[in-house]
A and B are shown apart, each in its own frame.
Chain A
């Protein structure tokens, strides 16, 4: 099969977008992990769950700002939701950017409420009615739907790139899944980081987070492979080699670090935050790699 011919011009999506993809991923991933801890975790895991929801909302905060900053007409960000020419909604399910805008809005709501709930629970407001509701079945349902939104936000950014005519991006339909997987890896690493730096997180939780992190890493590794295969078939893989190999290195190191910690004695002696930090870097590097290599 002859290589794909691409004559599209680069959209000039750069640092703001990278920032959004990174934090958006962490936010969605954290929310999902928060939900998991809440629904299948032990009582000891609940503190971590609350941290996850709080982290989710805090990492979500910069996202709309980054997106608006990237617009040529920032004040018209609202046109993403409302059609300025006919006053109705601007909702195009087949346009990832349109769908994503709505998803982000929805997730914002869930993330915010869960955040409030988490804050309320933690200590001084324990008896608070909201907190109580959110700890019950209603809360569970709320978390599940929120997770759906959160994971969608993680994934659609990849689909957004794929739904174009850019080299690499449009050649790699697995980007959605890949970004989702690496969002989970990143989120797990982020929570580990917090857990490690705080006494009050249960040691067992931390261990389980480590395990989850490694599972996600494996999933991510698989998707990277699938992605590379599709791009290779399209014949545009060359765009991601050269200087980009350095970023690939960062990606790989971040992926294997958690395993080294658990296997190699040497690595055990690393500062406890090293592996999660490397994992986060890896998440950032992967997105930078995909975003920039295609546009140069």
Chain B
């Protein structure tokens, strides 16, 4: 989240897309309700914030929404694109903001173009773009806004050309206008299925949020990410927010409701393969020196007044990380052991791992707190992959379909060669440590129940032990490239085999090696090897004052703990970066530093300093100073990017159909799907297994229910009682056609596999009529929570044979994060009798 949970209560409009907060984030949903019940919020005269929910299904969130739009799955780019178009055409955008706080004025290279669903530079063979044309015209630095003089020194090769009138046909603004002019209400309706009149009504409400005294938040989750167009789906929302001037403002922002209680922490600490902690890029092959790495990874200034904080400090952060990891072994002369880092040549995202295993290129896999064979996609193929391993280690407090895959229904254990080890770990309730929530708050939690002695072990202790033994083996028998292992520092821990989580938190913050004191801020990190930081964005979380995530000064004394009255509660836990509660908050105030909306200030300039939230800006930098930084301090532009070259599938979000779609893309039928989505099967020389609409006429989407947490709660009887067995939701009209009654057992199958579950016949899913087509599109809803282990599976061994939702899902990912397309695929359905 750019903002945080509590902040949602400041919004006038809450636009929910691809999320079902009432069910997936019920506790966080209290803030939606608070906004709804607050008469001072809302469009027009107020009377309560308006919740607008777009979802293929009428969910428990829709039930409390003020507007519900039944949208065809995978089409939110068209929906957002339509809103963007409406806002631009009717000049509802926040002009001052767009001019000065976004790159609307930046002029793009002449070569850049978009035709027939493709941006310039596409290569059909490699299914990838050459993005050289997705860049700005370079010029000598122009006078910055407010007629500033010289900007600070810069490493930049030259600055981007800007046209503050926004009239240049090649300006981002004009290009954007052109790009989205195709997204007329009619077109939106023919793609999404949202009736034109409903779309217009919503567009009016949303458009009003471009006023400085109004603010809208966009809330999303995996209903947007689980698509081959996931990245762009989210960006299209961000574009809308930038146009409306809602980025950086309390009650605004682009807010991802994260998954597991600590998935935000996981991400920050590099759970995904392509980054190091703190979103530093993983070194690429060929980057032999630290210089090369930094030069190719750090952003460049494209405006004299852009601070480009991340780019400028890239080296400091990287060196502090290396120093933290390799300590004494990291010296100036060996470039702080930069060469110890792996430089992966191949993609190692989730699907790639099992793809490699399928190809027989993997010896073994350690699954920790992750149920590969339930979470999919295409779990039948994932099981094959596991069967291809020599060994499999499952670290989990509970049996999972992965630890039991060798005895899955219909599998003959004798046929499985994989040796499976179960390492019982403690559950997170059985350890202390921190959860980082969607709002980036690092909150310490206490151990709830101690683990049974000898029955389970903490993950970090298992890891430490494992590491220790590997190290010993290297010592004894030598081996390839032992340095990286041997040099690893463990001096933060009293007992290196049993590190305390508090010690690890301390290590992550990092210290000043000269003084031995904990670092107070990442701004102080150095590139000379005198500072450490296990993850620079967490530097400041564990200072000389101790572990700040343990702070608990909250509502028990609001006057004292929330001085601004804006719900920042600066003494409650700690949020990155630097305890800032709303990111980009410089953008919450105008050029002079006055809040856009005095009723909802983020930070403001009081003449000598910035007050309010922890400023995303030098605390005493006078905004009127000609040399003052641009508002968005992190990126090279210094402003929000309406046009970005950092997306591999296009600088502007474009609507592409899911890999399995019921219709060809109305915008460009000949380029229906995302041109760069990664097709694993094809790439691996296996046949693509995508279903076509003739054999699989129905659209399926998969999702969660309040009552369960993925596959874990299948072991919790009380929760099993609330939703006892696997089922699918079937639109009443379709059920009639198929002679399916509520509670009947049905078979749902895709090109990959099948499930056999009960049918919940309901009007909450309905036929979707696409404008210009009379054939309704039916969605079938598939909750994900069941498999062949757990209470109900044990109680119904026969029934539960085919309960794995991911038997159906396609083995394909979006080009960036390689996130599977869990939310849109084609199936067929029939009654089992």
Chains A and B touch (C-beta atoms under 8 A apart): no
A contact residues vs B (CB 8 Å cutoff):
none
Residues in chain B within 8 A of chain A (CB atoms): none
